[in-house]
Amino acid sequence: MLHSFDEMPDSSRMWIYQADRPFTTDELLQIDQEARNFVNSWAAHGQGLKAAFKVEHNQFIVLAVDETYHPASGCSIDDSVGFIRNLEQKLGVALLNRSNVALYKGGVVEIRPLKEIKSSIEAGEIDRETLVFNGFINNLKDFRNSWTQPAEDSWMSKYFV
């Protein structure tokens, strides 16, 4: 059951899918329609889930479930991953690649391979204040409060010595 993302409680469980490139205007329209259809029919053990979705920075798809209403199950989570895989195929975009890191520099999302982060810091391309998107957030409270953080406050801090 589709609900407004902004009205979902802080305790809602969530998943963030990061694209390897920005979505086009047409793709955003397609994502909106397909995500509405998916979320409206998303269920766990036959019980509709109180859920929401949002596209952030034209590059992240965020799904949320209010588990105080009904918890997501393994099968329902598998269904959401299937939905995302389907979008990957239709749009020709990678959404499940966890080996990329998203940075926010100058108002633009920048994707870098994880294996290049240390050398990018050493080269001065990423500094202590560079904002990093935390893809491991799993509830809306953390998403709302600390989805982005300066590199020096993130897992990258070990490279700033």
Q: At what angle do helices 74-91 and 25-41 cross, to 10 degrees?
A: 160
Express each pLDDT in 131-155 by its tens digit: 999 988 999 999 999 999 999 999 9
Express each pLDDT in 97-124 by its tens digit: 999 999 999 999 999 999 999 999 999 9
Cα–Cα distances in Å, from 82 out to 49, 78, 86? Answer: 16, 6, 6
pLDDT (mean) for 10-23: 96
Q: How far apart are CA 4 and CA 33, in angstroms?
A: 15
Q: Which of the four pLDDT bands, split at 50, 70 and 90, describes residue 54?
A: very high
